[in-house]
Structure 1
Amino acid sequence: MAFSSPSLSTNPIPVSTMAAVDQSELAEWRAASPADGASWLAGVSGPWWIAGGWALDLFGGTQSRRHGDLDIGVLRRDVAQVLGTLSSWEFFEAHKGRLTRLQTGTLPKAEVNSLWCRPAGTTLWAMELMLDAADDDRWVFRRQPEIQRPLATVIRWNPEGIPYLSPEIQLLYKARSRRAKDQADFDHIAPRMDSNARAWLRHTLLRTDPEHEWLPSLRAQTDD
């Protein structure tokens, strides 16, 4: 199924010469789709996946809402390869509300988990790289490293062969923010997950946030 791209503002602030700036001043994104991401990362041999709201829509099989950006997950240990594949792009570390240019030939700082990316010479951001941890063949939840999964269970593929983050893991990331769109994503996707995925999300939330408001719904859906 084809996924349309959202319409976004086209009045960005150029940052070709700046070193660091507040993210809020430069949050102008191009209309990018999962198919765009697959094209950009076609030369990356390591694992990568569509993340964020787009990942949930790839799981659901249809676009459920407008997406303001395109998130793509990679393993932190593979980031050098990704940066090398996208050698004509520029990258900024996103950390604590600030964007700092990542100099060519350097790697993101350990405390940085997000890179804003775009082709050099352009002004709209194209994608956000999310840096995930791994231990050998296991994915590690960086917010609580004792929570782990085999990497083979972390990534799924849609019928067009685009990899995306398993919905229960994406909802785990979204559970902390509890924004209106995160609640809408949960309401739309949780009933569509199989019982094993719902049970994993429920048990994991019990470890990370035992009073989370999603738990009663997950308990009812798991017991059905």
Structure 2
Amino acid sequence: MEVWKPLTVNEVKELFNKIPINWWIAGGWALDIYLGRKTREHDDIDIVILREDYLILQRYLYNNWEMYIATKGQLIKWEKDDNLDSQYDNIWIKKKGSSTWDFQVMLLDTEDNVWLYKRKNTVRKTIKDIGYKSSMGVPYLRPEIQLLYKGGSSLLRDKDSIDLENVIPKLKMDDLKWLRDSLAEQFPNGHRWITYLNRMIISKKTSKTL
């Protein structure tokens, strides 16, 4: 069993602000930053970067950190200056000599200045529109994009549905519609979250007319 002792959000900020790349907190922490409160415990901490920047990341971390590619239930040592195939997008990182993992980095696919959703690359946003920044200056993935990653996974976990219920009351109408439409594009035969999102959209429309 892999053991995690994740960095805090502030520790991630301190580390990544020294690296000349775009980065964003992702996962459940991104949603909690958006909500302004911690809604549940987090087993790990995720950061996303642009795929084009992965070697810059490695060069800045190489002296003090061990990096492994997580793929198909395996962890493969990421050697210095090794290029990563497009199939690899998940890197686990720990301090050299440590037995516990500190954070993981996911790689975002892009085309020119546009982010592509890997599971359905017709779903996209410009890179400048994929994140927000907290009042403390921490960049994080927009909640509708993070919920798409959760809802679009092959394994829909209980905590993902809880995250959805916590977040969507705060989402703007356009973001709710974007999430619904993106899920519908990935799942043309339906997805259980779409019904829930439609109800929320109707509720918001009704409340505006009252």
Q: TM-score, normalised by structure 2?
A: 0.91
Equivalence for 1:71: 46
Local SS of the residue matching 1:214: helix
Which of 173, 183, 187 is equivalent to 2:165? 187
Aligned amino acid, residue 204 of structure 1: S
The C-alpha deviation readout for 1:114-154, integer Å capped at 9, x for no partner, is 00001212221000100110111111111111111011110
Q: Which runs of 5+ in 2 are unaligned?
A: 205-210
- Please say if residues 6 and 101 of structure 2, whose CA atoms lie closer than 8 Å, have aligned partners that are also in contact: no
Equivalence for 2:12: 37
Aligned amino acid, residue 173 of structure 2: S
In the alignment, structure 1 residue 61 sits paired with structure 2 residue 32: no
Q: TM-score, normalised by structure 1?
A: 0.86
Q: C-alpha separation between the residues in 2 aligned to 1:130 and 1:217?
A: 28
Q: C-alpha separation between the residues in 1 aligned to 2:19 and 2:198?
A: 39
Equivalence for 1:157: 133
Q: C-alpha separation between the residues in 1 aligned to 2:14 and 2:83?
A: 23
Q: C-alpha separation between the residues in 1 aligned to 2:90 and 2:18?
A: 21
Aligned amino acid, residue 175 of structure 2: A
- Please say if residues 6 and 103 of structure 2, whose CA atoms lie closer than 8 Å, have aligned partners that are also in contact: no
In the alignment, structure 1 residue 140 sits paired with structure 2 residue 119: no
- Please say if residues 114 and 126 of structure 2, whose CA atoms lie closer than 8 Å, have aligned partners that are also in contact: yes
Q: C-alpha separation between the residues in 2 aligned to 1:53 and 1:98?
A: 23
Q: C-alpha separation between the residues in 2 aligned to 1:197 and 1:182?
A: 18
Q: C-alpha separation between the residues in 2 aligned to 1:31 and 1:95?
A: 20
Q: C-alpha separation between the residues in 2 aligned to 1:168 and 1:222?
A: 14
Q: C-alpha separation between the residues in 1 aligned to 2:127 and 2:166?
A: 25
Identity of aligned residues (%): 30
Q: C-alpha separation between the residues in 2 aligned to 1:107 and 1:56?
A: 31
Structure 1's consecutive aligned runs of 4 or more residues displaced over 6 angstroms after TM superposition are: none
Q: C-alpha separation between the residues in 2 aligned to 1:104 and 1:138?
A: 28
Local SS of the residue matching 1:106: coil
More helix by share: 2
- Please say if residues 205 and 215 of structure 1, whose CA atoms lie closer than 8 Å, have aligned partners that are also in contact: yes
Equivalence for 2:95: 119
Aligned length: 199
The C-alpha deviation readout for 1:70-107, integer Å capped at 9, x for no partner, is 10000111001111111221100000010011112213
CA apart distance, 1:53: 0.4
Aligned amino acid, residue 151 of structure 1: I
- Bigger Cα displacement from structure 2, 104-113 vs 141-150: 104-113
Q: Which runs of 5+ in 1 are unaligned?
A: 1-24
- Please say if residues 116 and 127 of structure 1, whose CA atoms lie closer than 8 Å, have aligned partners that are also in contact: yes
Aligned amino acid, residue 169 of structure 2: P
In the alignment, structure 1 residue 83 sits paired with structure 2 residue 58: yes
Q: C-alpha separation between the residues in 2 aligned to 1:131 and 1:81?
A: 13
CA apart distance, 1:45: 1.8
